[in-house]
Structure 1
Amino acid sequence: MHDTLSFITPDPHSAWGTYLSQVDRVLPYLGPLARWGETLKRPKRALIVDVPIEMDDGTVRHFEGYRVQHNLSRGPGKGGVRYHPAVTLEEVMALSAWMTVKNAAVNLPYGGAKGGIRVDPRQLSHKELERMTRRYTSEIGLVIGPQQDIPAPDVGTNPQVMAWMMDTYSMNVGGTATGVVTGKPVHLGGSLGRVKATGRGVFVTGREAARRIHLNLDGARVAVQGFGNVGSAAAEMFVGAGAKIVAVQDHTGTIANPAGMDMGALMEVVRRDGGAGAFTQAERIDDEAFWDTDCDILIPAALEGQITLARANRLKARLVLEGANGPTHPDADDALAERGILVVPDVICNAGGVTVSYFEWVQDFSSFFWTEDEINLRLDKIMVDALRRIWDTADRHKITLRTATFAVACERILMARQERGLYP
């Protein structure tokens, strides 16, 4: 059975099933534009590619790769490339759809796209990773480009992978095209502030949300799932605001310290050992016990589908900040709302990364680059202004922030669809 069958009858708890449920919830708030609602439920284009590479031992292995463009009504596709053993077409479809909504929510001139390869990058050598990236880039080269579709880093990819992608595309078109990807090294046209941008966005939206529910960040207890670029950057900024990190979970294990953790020491262990599990100034606890942590703020910043209904009913947080894409099942979303736990949804909470990717794209076109302070100021303003408009929509319709974000974003997407019309 191939992935594409799940497009017809998705599991309601799958990433694509979760997205479709979110779309159904927003349609009643779109007025006459709802007639275009089916547009949101169908990816515009889905490309499946074979990625054969010669391994270091001389054998040839084949990997399956994807690039999905969900919607291009508002501009070129924009979205990351994920290297992970669990990547499927259905997951990439959902991630591309969330990118469509995310870009519209913060009013960036982009549509939504996403890519990925089903692989564990940690099992490949540096040279194997380069050969795979270059072959994948060549295979999807017919649908990407600075004005067509602009990839970026995601789970399992980084600035080095983006440099290989940019170089491969440039060689194939016969000229340097820095704007074909974002998240590049700074000396290759990357932007200052990009690495910590997603985590910064989580903090900025979290600070605004905390103020609205009268939660003082000074002394607030924060639990973080996923301690890569997003989770660690958000954690550092919350600690800088006076909060304390009381629990961390990543692929190396789960640790807890109710008194709070020394961020400097923790980050040193993460850099040295590749994860938080080896940190000795905290207690090692069972992974499932993470969801019982006494905390004020929970930041799921790992993979999708983490907050199930059962876990939602156990959470002790007042505020959930979705650093990951699609971490909460729809029924869990309802349970959190009923319990009075505020969720700042992924499609606004983690939009800091794509916002600074937009800044990078603009800087590449003009070959004029901003300072990190300028970038952070622009990012903070865009995130806060977007969240305030969404909050006004939520208050007006008495709906959750997630449905309100979809309402604001989908109105923009479908208005573009309607005004562009259908060709031919």
Structure 2
Amino acid sequence: MNALAATNRNFRHAARILGLDSKVEKSLLIPFREIKVECTIPKDDGTLVSYVGFRVQHDNARGPMKGGIRYHPEVDPDEVNALAQLMTWKTAVADIPYGGAKGGIGCTPRELSLSELERLTRVFTQKIHDLIGIHTDVPAPDMGTNSQTMAWILDEYSKFHGHSPAVVTGKPIDLGGSLGREAATGRGVVYAAEALLAEYGKSIGGLTFAVQGFGNVGSWAARLIHERGGKVIAVSDITGAVKNPKGLDIPELLRHKEATGSLRNFHGGDSMDPSELLLHECDVLIPCALGGVLNRENAADVKAKFIVEAANHPTDPEADEILSKKGVIILPDIYANAGGVTVSYFEWVQNIQGFMWEEEQVNNELRRYMTRAFHNIKNMCKTHDCNLRMGAFTLGVNRVARATLLRGWEA
């Protein structure tokens, strides 16, 4: 089941549990605005090339729309729609005053030079500058984009609107980026896991963890789990996989990956088949890579007791049912990976105030937001007698529906 179908299904289920009016339900599903623009740039050799850029702005009932911009060859409108919608529920679950958006350009970033990427980003910004803004829609980095991309968008936008650091988040620190932003999603995953485990009288120290994906999110999550005395016994990424039943030395593994660009040939563990990682014997499984990795083919063989969804929709609805029947506790993506957008919100707040925080304040506030959101989800689970995914969806959808009705959606 693709991302859009899965998200719509979860939304409809939540709407039924909440008893939403069918007209409100329909209006919440339809995006506020979809933008599609042509971006033509000269390549370094002088030839012209055209790309399609787009932005889906899903909902702004609770505040400006917020979401990443990805540069990827398969930028599929359906997926972007699903991710924009997911951002609407995610910001509502985290209780930050935003709606959802997502966008991107269909291109292969590694085939473009730095100056070509800069030209492409600037042309894209010229085409959408009057449709984004500090109080309208605030982009952020995503797959294939980074803080440098945000710096170019900021600069191009500011030519039209004056210096506006709050128009994008995930910026370089020197241009108003927030301390703690780089580690935020991984740190949020760890705070989320701590809140979940505390419910069961457990803590990270002494438990075993398997982490799929060792990019930004996976590597920070693994590092912070290691610092807290948790045993990360298996890690995989696109280059390979490594395991050690006594626990991997994560700082050493990070140095190895930095030096060699790969997880292969790491001396502190044995290599394993990356596809085995999801089925590895462990207490907590943390998928931090792609969507749809847990499906009806492999779900029955998962041995973890807890799954913390650091990736977006890593679990198919079919796998969801199989795992629930087995008694596996799943902490859903719209809560578990909300640390990134929460610290993006802190960055935006700091930019608007023109007053920057110390990293310690950023991390303490993040912990407060993640812990509070978990207890709000648990309350919804009790009220509606549902699992954590539906607890999170009902919490998010209910907040957006309430805001929509209070604003007068029929007027």
| TM, length-normalised to structure 1 | 0.93
1:44 equivalent to 2:32? Answer yes
Aligned to 1:283: 270
User: How far, CA to CA, are the matches of 2:74 and 2:274 in structure 1?
Assistant: 20
User: How far, CA to CA, are the matches of 1:22 and 1:415 in structure 2?
Assistant: 18
User: How far, CA to CA, are the matches of 2:119 and 2:282 in structure 1?
Assistant: 44
Q: How does 1:243-262 map to 2 (within 5 A)?
A: 243-262=230-249
SS of the residue aligned with 2:311? coil
Identity of aligned residues (%): 43
Q: How does 1:386-397 map to 2 (within 5 A)?
A: 386-397=373-384
Q: 1:279 to 1:138 in 2, by over 3 A?
A: farther
Paired letter, 2:213: G
User: How far, CA to CA, are the matches of 2:149 and 2:238 in structure 1?
Assistant: 21
SS of the residue aligned with 1:71? coil
Aligned to 1:162: 150
1:57 equivalent to 2:45? Answer yes
Aligned to 2:326: 339
| TM, length-normalised to structure 2 | 0.96
How far does residue 286 in structure 1 lie from its aligned partner after superposition? 2.4
Paired letter, 2:84: S
SS of the residue aligned with 1:303? coil
Q: Which moved more, 1:279-288 or 1:68-77?
A: 279-288
Aligned to 2:206: 219
Aligned to 1:19: 7
User: How far, CA to CA, are the matches of 2:257 and 2:22 in structure 1?
Assistant: 47
Q: How does 1:1-20 map to 2 (within 5 A)?
A: 13-20=1-8
User: How far, CA to CA, are the matches of 2:50 and 2:302 in structure 1?
Assistant: 42
Q: How does 1:232-251 map to 2 (within 5 A)?
A: 232-251=219-238
RMSD (Å), alpha carbons? 1.6
How far does residue 33 in structure 1 lie from its aligned partner after superposition? 5.1
Aligned to 2:352: 365
Q: How does 1:6-405 map to 2 (within 5 A)?
A: 13-32=1-20, 35-173=23-161, 175-277=162-264, 279-405=266-392
User: How far, CA to CA, are the matches of 2:21 and 2:404 in structure 1?
Assistant: 9
Gap runs ≥5 in structure 1 = 1-12
Paired letter, 1:210: L
User: How far, CA to CA, are the matches of 1:276 and 1:53 in structure 2?
Assistant: 37
**CA deviation string 1:172-194 (max 9, x = no partner):** 33x11101000101110111111
How far does residue 60 in structure 1 lie from its aligned partner after superposition? 2.5
Gap runs ≥5 in structure 2 = none
How far does residue 346 in structure 1 lie from its aligned partner after superposition? 0.8
SS of the residue aligned with 1:247? strand
Conserved? CA contact 2:109–2:144, under 8 Å: yes
How far does residue 278 in structure 1 lie from its aligned partner after superposition? 5.3
Q: 1:44 to 1:196 in 2, by over 3 A?
A: same
Paired letter, 2:154: M
Conserved? CA contact 1:33–1:414, under 8 Å: no
Q: 1:280 to 1:89 in 2, by over 3 A?
A: farther
Conserved? CA contact 2:194–2:203, under 8 Å: no
User: How far, CA to CA, are the matches of 1:235 and 1:401 in structure 2?
Assistant: 23
User: How far, CA to CA, are the matches of 2:371 and 2:200 in structure 1?
Assistant: 15
User: How far, CA to CA, are the matches of 2:266 and 2:70 in structure 1?
Assistant: 27
Q: Which moved more, 1:201-210 or 1:128-137?
A: 128-137
Q: Which moved more, 1:237-246 or 1:34-43?
A: 34-43
User: How far, CA to CA, are the matches of 1:82 and 1:15 in structure 2?
Assistant: 16
How far does residue 85 in structure 1 lie from its aligned partner after superposition? 2.5
Q: Which moved more, 1:247-256 or 1:316-325?
A: 247-256
User: How far, CA to CA, are the matches of 2:128 and 2:238 in structure 1?
Assistant: 30
Count of aligned pairs: 411
How far does residue 279 in structure 1 lie from its aligned partner after superposition? 3.3
